[in-house]
Structures are given as C-alpha cells and as structure tokens.
Amino acid sequence: MILFSKIFLIGTGLLGGAIALNYIASALSLTTWYTFLQKSKDTSVFSYIWLFIVYPLCLGALAYYLVSWLTS
C-alpha cells in the first residue's frame, strides 16, 4: 500500500506540474504539446525550445525532487 501511495503522489505531482507548465506556456503564447501535434508547421523557435528543452527539464526536475522527498 505504501508503494501505491508513493506512485500516486508522484503521478499527481507530475500531473499538477504539467498543468502548471501548460498554463505558463499559454500565458507566454508558446505552443503546448496538444497544439504542436495538431499543427506543427506554425511552431516558433521559442516554442521548440520550450517543448524539447524547458518542458522536459522542468518535469524531470519535479519528478526528481518528488522522488527525493518521498524516499527521504
């Protein structure tokens, strides 16, 4: 049961982080993954940087800190 709780908390944390990052992307007029998959031809250089560098880096850092916090 403890393992299930940890997995659930990590998943919930990542979901919350992804929602927050999508909100930030929309506020900055950057492309989100949904928009990118619908029409990738209209994507700016900044959106590519956001989608392929910043977004995964932020989610990875969030996952790292959630796992560190739950295992300490």
The pLDDT tens digits of the residues spanning 24-45 come to 999 999 999 888 888 878 789 9
Structural domain containing residue 16: 2-71
Number of domains present in the structure of the chain = 1
CA–CA distance, 16 with 41 (Å, rounded to integer): 28
In whole angstroms, give the CA distance from residue 32 to residue 7.
26
Question: What percent of the chain is modeled with pLDDT above 70?
Answer: 100
Instruction: Say yes or no to pLDDT of 10 above 80.
Output: yes
pLDDT at 25: 94
Residue 36 contacts residue 51 (beta carbons within 8 Å): yes
pLDDT of 39: 82
Q: Cα–Cα distances in Å, from 7 out to 4, 12, 63, 65?
A: 5, 9, 11, 14
68, pLDDT greater than 80: yes
